[in-house]
Amino acid sequence: MAPMKVYGWAVSPWMARALVCLEEAGVEYEIVPMSRCGGDHRRPEHLARNPFGEIPVLEDGDLTLYQSRAIARYVLRKYKPELVKEGDLEGSAMVDVWMEVEAHNIEATLWPIIRHCIIGQYVGRDRDQAVIDENLEKLRRLLPVYEARLSVCKYLAGDDITAADLCHFGFMRYFMATEYAGVVDAFPHVKAWWDALLARPSVQKVMAGMPPDFGYASGNIP
Amino acid sequence: MAPVKVFGSAVFANAARVMACLEEVGLEYEVVEVDYTAKEHKGPQHLSKNPFGQIPAFQDGDTMLFESRAIAKYVLRKYSKPAQVDLLREGNPEEAAMVDVWTEVEAHTYLPAIAPIFYECVVYPARLGTSSNQKVVEESLEKLKKVLDVYEANLSKNKYLYLAGDFFSFADLNHFPYTFYFMTTSHASLFDSYPSVKACWGRLMARPSVKKISDGMVLRA
């Protein structure tokens, strides 16, 4: 069986979402590196894989998939269905709930902070503190709900790790490298949950490809 | 067995999303109104059902859920009679993956382009008395055209009847609420330039489930 291929740049938090699920699933895969600054994602050969011109893209034999959460679900269903609690009606619903919460609240709140605190300085964009503050406020309203949830169970969908937790990794990784990590640390159960994620071999392996500055300072511009 | 409950009426696009799925599986359900203007969704009773204070929430016996797409999938998994309704295709990994792809595209690519047009043209004028921000509308229309270019190519190149393939799926159904609301604006004719998309939309609107729920989607100021 040919290994799966994942197209994209490893520093991307969206790519990380797919990669951490591939690692947890124990699947053989290879990364096909692409250059964001070189515009690889807009070239015809990539548009043939993903007509929206985005990464990551997964190839598994004849199947080509995009959208990081669709990739995550496909890989986990196929190789580690317990991570999506397949066959468990209430369990799979909780996985879905917290994947949706992440999708509609966390990514949208953390990414602007990450862009302005980390990336901006390397791409000539002025730091907009108002944008940072607005999103920190949103985060401060979200975290108490997470704290309450993680006070009653160890992970978001229950006492076992699932796709819901893993899907948070990429954006959390970079947010926690900003000066605002303390906002999360102020919530002890959220902090413990994040520390537990960091301790996982899958997370450590993917994180090794994600320098906190996205590679800009060392000249490895994504 | 008490009927399942949806907290939030069909006028809320995300509640309509859930109700369309309930109609598809033919399950009896009760709608509990949540008074948005009175900020009932931020009050303690609703927060106990949806801790993020959003609409909808859902109850099935002891099971409480929120997030419309999560609720919808739970309903489809629990209550679909496979011979009749299989909108998730979870028995077929490749098909299920395509359903997921186009469900994600709706949430993260289609919706951010189409929803602002509806909010600027209908919701904000009705709720806040403001006039539409034409800049936002124009930018959103440009984004939406680029998105629809891809949808049109996908449907026409593959000669698919529906987004994930030749089968109607959860991915198509997810497009219903916000597309319906977009079609109530003066920009509805944009879809005329995308014949395959327009035909797919026609098929979606023709479904009894969608027709029934859209009847309840009358925006009250």
Write the pLDDT tens digit of every residue in A31-85. 999 999 999 999 999 999 999 999 999 999 999 999 999 999 999 999 999 999 9
When pLDDT is averaged across residues B197-204 and rounded to a whole number, the result is 97
pTM exceeds cut of 0.95: yes
**Ordered domains of chain A (ranges, CATH):** 4-83 (3.40.30.10), 84-209 (1.20.1050.10)
Compare all CA atoms of chain A with the CA of B77 and give the residue at the minimum distance.
A89
Q: Where are the beta strands (DSSP E) in chain A?
A: 4-8, 29-33, 57-60, 63-66
- Reported as half-sphere exposure (CB side, CA atoms, 13 A), residue B34 has a value of 27
Structure token pair of residue A103: 């999708």
Structure token pair of residue B169: 């799926």
* Mutation for testing the A interface, residue in B49, B55, B74 having most A CBs under 10 Å: B74
Structure token pair of residue B144: 């939406």
When pLDDT is averaged across residues A127-131 and rounded to a whole number, the result is 97
A46 contacts chain B (CB < 8 A): no
Give percent above pLDDT 70 in chain B: 99
Please say if the pLDDT value at position B219 is more than 80: no
Mind telling me how many Å the CA of A103 is from chain B's nearest CA?
Answer: 9
| Nearest residue, CB atoms, A148 vs list B51, B63, B100 | B51
Mind telling me how many Å the CA of B96 is from chain A's nearest CA?
Answer: 8
Contact A103 B108 (CB under 8 A): yes
Q: Over the stretch B158-178, which tens digit does the pLDDT of each residue have?
A: 999 999 999 999 999 999 999
Q: Which residues of A touch B92 (CB under 8 A)?
A: none
Residues 6+ away with beta carbon under 8 Å from B183: B191
Find the chain B residues whose C-beta atoms sit closer than 8 A to any C-beta of A: 51-52, 63, 65-71, 73-74, 77-78, 90, 93-94, 96-98, 100-101, 103-105, 107-109, 150, 153-154
Please say if the pLDDT value at position B1 is more than 80: no
**Ordered domains of chain B (ranges, CATH):** 4-83 (3.40.30.10), 93-207 (1.20.1050.10)
Give helix B134-158 / helix B195-206 axis angle, nearest 10°: 90
Q: Which residues of A touch B78 (CB under 8 A)?
A: 89
Q: State which H helix or E strand residue B5 sits in.
A: strand B4-7
**Residue A82 and residue A76: Cα distance in Å, rounded?**
8
Compare all CA atoms of chain A with the CA of B148 and give the residue at the minimum distance.
A52
Structure token pair of residue A59: 């190839």
ipTM over 0.85: yes
Residue in the block written with tokens 């964001």: A36
Contact A93 B108 (CB under 8 A): no
User: Would you place residue B220 in the very low, low, confident or very high pLDDT band (cuts 50, 70, 90)?
Assistant: low
* Mutation for testing the B interface, residue in A41, A100, A147 having most B CBs under 10 Å: A100
Give the pLDDT of residue B221.
Answer: 40
Strand arrangement of the beta sheet that strand A63-66 belongs to: A29-33, A4-8, A57-60, A63-66
